Amino acid sequence: PRELACRADTRVGIVANALEAGRAIGEVQDTARRAGARWLREEVRWSQVEPRPGARDWRAFDRVLANATRRGLRVLPLLHDAPAWATPADGGLPT
C-alpha cells in the first residue's frame, strides 16, 4: 500500500495484534507504518501474562513493544481475557 499523506498532528492507528504474528511481528508493524499508522492497538491477554496470581510473564508483549519502539510506533494496549482464577463464578467482570 502506498503511504498516506497525513498532517503532523493527525493520529492514525491500526489494530495490529502483532503478537499473533509470532516471528513476523516486525513485518506486521512495518506494514502498519507504511500504511501511515503511528499508533498500534495490541491485545494483551491477561490469562497468558498472569496464568496464576503473581506469576507474570511479559516477555512476549515486551517483544511487541521493543519492535514498535524501533519503528517509531506507539502502542495502546488492550487488556482482555481474564484468567480463570480472577473471573467470578457468575461470569461477571473481575474485581
**Considering the chain, what is the average pLDDT of its residues?**
86
Strands of the sheet containing 13-15, edge to edge, are 13-15, 39-45, 74-80
- What is the distance between the alpha carbons of residues 36 and 33, in angstroms, rounded to a whole number? 5
| Residues 26 and 64: beta-carbon distance below 8 Å | no
| pLDDT score for 66 | 94
Q: What are 56-70's pLDDT values in tens digits? A: 999 999 999 999 999
- What is the distance between the alpha carbons of residues 20 and 23, in angstroms, rounded to a whole number? 9
For residue 19, name the pLDDT band (cuts at 50, 70, 90).
confident
- What is the distance between the alpha carbons of residues 71 and 15, in angstroms, rounded to a whole number? 16
| pLDDT score for 62 | 94
Mean pLDDT of 48-60: 94
